[in-house]
Chains A and B, each alone.
Chain A
Amino acid sequence: MALLELKNVTKYYNQTIPALEDVSFSVDEGEFVSIIGPSGAGKSTLLRCINRMVEASSGEISVDGVISSSLTKKKLRALRTKIGMIFQHYNLVDRLTVIENVLHGRLGYKSTLAGILGRYSQEEKNQAFQIIKILGLEEQVYKRCDQLSGGQKQRVGIARALIQNPKIILCDEPIASLDPNAAKLIMDHLRNISTEMGITVIVNLHQVEIALKYSDRIIGVNKGKVVFDGLPCDLTAAQIQAIYGSESEDVSFDLGERHAG
């Protein structure tokens, strides 16, 4: 069975135009999926419906066999621990240190009191240090996050997601605020997370060439509808045209390099 399954998901923010319309697809364990589409297509909305940061208006979403729409608050928290999330603006608590921000990823597992007091077990701390090391941040462990570069902040964001022991990581434009070198490092880490840890990674991107290079699969969204769903090697220039519509002249892409799968 698929790890993530969306069936006829529709989202209206207001009564007139749907931000998402009848979206259906499913994603397997360990898959690396990129969602591409023009600005306002509904990519962020789609991602946020998966962990119910945005409530879908209709349709059904199941994660790891659990249908998310009917969950109680407590069960929703439990579901969210299985879904990490990474943001364009990192969304860290800047005044806290790297290790504190990373350990925030454990809050979903905690009782109210333990979470308020920030009490983490030795095991959790060890795991945090291990993840920080994998991401190459060991020298920054006790630095405050407002002293980090963008690329370092995003790695803290990845660490916070990883320590959740998630099955899926959702990434909303994770490299949109980064320079090309930092962007490559982040994308390489995300690719490793999917290949080596078997965690499903879903990434919103606005660079087609990066989506082609890293993804197992690409989903193209336009005006709230899925207009392409397939392998990077099947994405033709005409389909990119369809995804980006009239804006496609502005989108630079180079169909040379693709992920081998």
Chain B
Amino acid sequence: MRDDIFTKRRNDNLRFFLVLIILTVGSIIITNYDVIKGFSSIAKALIWGGSNFYPDVKSLRILPEILPKLQETILMSIAATTVASVFALFLSLAGSKTTRLNRIFSIISRGIASLFRNIPLVAWAMVLMLAFSQSPLTGYLALFFASLGFLTRAFMETIDEVGNNSIEALQATGANYFHIIFQAVLPASMPQMISWLLFMIETNIRDATLVGVLTGTGIGFSFDLYYKRFDYHAASLVVVFIVITVIFIEFVSNNIRRVIL
């Protein structure tokens, strides 16, 4: 009996790798992807980047232009994320199995969460652009919707993890629904939720750049502008600033996490 389990496991693993190999080779053949050329062009890209794509002293002249744009992007990301988190909190409370009021609301809010989460950010931006054209509002809403989907899902899992135990205990004391939410569910899940919120802000600052390229706003627009003018030094300076910002934000949020978790 025992041997059977081991043989079965080994065969399962073999089958899994076989399928993986077939998928890989199959997709390479179908898409005419030249593996060798793919890797060798990475080297080429690096060489080009090293000789052209670096900030020089002259590019520093654009600082007064890009710093306000950078600020706009950061603030927009934070605003979109925090507002989304408020809505996500309500949706997740309505959706979680432990705190839901009834099944219908739960299904609706789970549905909203998975729909919003599965529409890519770029698709949101494109669709919203039809409605609001190229404006900061478009970028803001795109980030908002994508964050709402993700945060609802993350919050819902956080609440589920808190579990039923303390909820049951408070119910037994005669506490009502709102008491239980504010005295047991939120205190237990808040640190994890804030951690998700910080993660989402980090992600959104990165993504806001991409959205900015599409919607013509913020730091992404600056990058696009300089890049299309073949001013690679200025464009690379923009990238450097984005990277520094993201690293800085990550550093700050890691410190916040350390304190609250």
Contact = CB atoms under 8 A, between A and B. Distances in A.
A110 interface: yes
Interface stretch (B11-19, B60-68, B171-179): B171-179
Contacts of A90: 165
* 7 tightest Cβ-Cβ pairs between the two chains A and B: A108-B174, A107-B175, A91-B169, A80-B174, A115-B179, A85-B172, A91-B165
B258 to A, nearest CB: 16
B165 A107 contact: no
Nearest to B185: A93
A142 interface: no
A101 to B, nearest CB: 9
A154 interface: no
Nearest to A77: B174
Interface in B161-218: 165-166, 168-176, 178-179, 182-184, 187-188, 191
Interface of A: 51, 53, 76-81, 83-85, 87, 89-96, 104-110, 112, 115-118, 157, 160-161, 164
27 contacts: A77-B176, A79-B174, A81-B173, A84-B173, A85-B169, A89-B165, A91-B165, A91-B166, A92-B166, A93-B187, A95-B188, A104-B173, A105-B173, A107-B173, A107-B176, A107-B179, A110-B179, A112-B176, A115-B175, A115-B176, A116-B182, A117-B182, A118-B183, A157-B169, A160-B173, A161-B173, A164-B174
A104 B175 contact: yes
Nearest to A157: B169
Contacts of A84: 172-173
Using C-beta atoms within 8 Å of the partner chain, give the interface range for chain B: 10 to 19
B204 to A, nearest CB: 27
A78 B170 CA distance: 13
Contacts, number: 87
Contacts of A51: 172
Contacts of A78: 174
A80 B166 CA distance: 16
A153 to B, nearest CB: 11
- Interface secondary structure of B, over-half rule: helix
B178 A115 contact: yes
A189 to B, nearest CB: 18
Given A91-B169, A107-B175, 16 more contacts: A53-B168, A53-B171, A80-B171, A80-B172, A84-B172, A87-B168, A91-B168, A92-B166, A93-B187, A95-B191, A107-B174, A115-B183, A116-B182, A116-B183, A117-B182, A160-B173
A81 B165 contact: no
B174 A92 contact: no
Nearest to A113: B178
B175 to A, nearest CB: 4
Given A53-B171, A81-B173, A83-B172, A96 B187 contact: yes
Contacts of A157: 169
B173 A116 contact: no
B182 A115 contact: yes
B99 to A, nearest CB: 14
A95 B188 CA distance: 6
Contact of A104 (B168, B176, B183, B188): B183
A110 to B, nearest CB: 7
B173 A108 contact: yes
Contact of B187 (A85, A95, A108): A95
A160 B169 contact: yes
